[in-house]
Amino acid sequence: MSRLTKRHAAKRDAARRRARVRRIVITSCAGLIVAVMVAAFFAFRGGGSERTTAHVRQQPVTSDSAETSVNVFDNDFEPRDLTVHRGSTITWDFKAKHPHNVTDDNGGFASGTLAQGDSWQFVADKTGAFTYSCTLHHAMQGTLTVID
Ligand SMILES: [Cu+2]
């Protein structure tokens, strides 16, 4: 190999090394951006007490479990539409910053007004569809359907 070709080969190797470093840097940057976006998504989802989700679409939930929880956020229940089996226990966990209540529109059950950190349980001993709301915030509406 002539000196010239050797120098050329060395130059080419150096260029390849630089390209590899650039690729690694670009890949880790992209990875970091994705990680930050995923973290931001979960931070937003887990926004807890400050969250107002009345405008957010929710999927109805059917629980086969003997115990099911419903989150009470400011202005929303989650899940809004819950179906459980007769005899199961539903626990409403009050995670909202402001006080709320769980009140059956037809008088079948009422939690009374509770604060952040409280929870209230109800045993679904009758089948049927029960609409309930927070009497302080009428936009907060939920449905509890009890099946056999
Ligand atoms: Cu309320």
pLDDT in the model for residue 56: 82
Q: Ligand 1 center to residue 14 CA distance, Å?
A: 66
In angstroms, the Cα distances linking 86 to 64, 80, 144 are: 10, 18, 11
Backbone dihedral angles phi then psi of residue 3, each to the nearest 5 degrees: -60, -35
Read off the pTM: 0.65
CA 44, 50, 53: angle at the middle one, nearest 5?
A: 70
pLDDT in the model for residue 28: 64
Q: Are residues 39 and 75 in the same domain?
A: no
Q: Ligand 1 center to residue 72 CA distance, Å?
A: 9
> Is the confidence at residue 84, as pLDDT, over 80?
yes
Print the domain residue range for 18: 1-44
Q: Are residues 37 and 81 in the same domain?
A: no
Q: Are residues 126 and 65 in the same domain?
A: yes
Q: Are residues 39 and 95 in the same domain?
A: no
Across the range 130-134, mean pLDDT stands at 98
> Does residue 54 sit within a domain?
no
Q: Are residues 21 and 67 in the same domain?
A: no
Q: Are residues 79 and 126 in the same domain?
A: yes
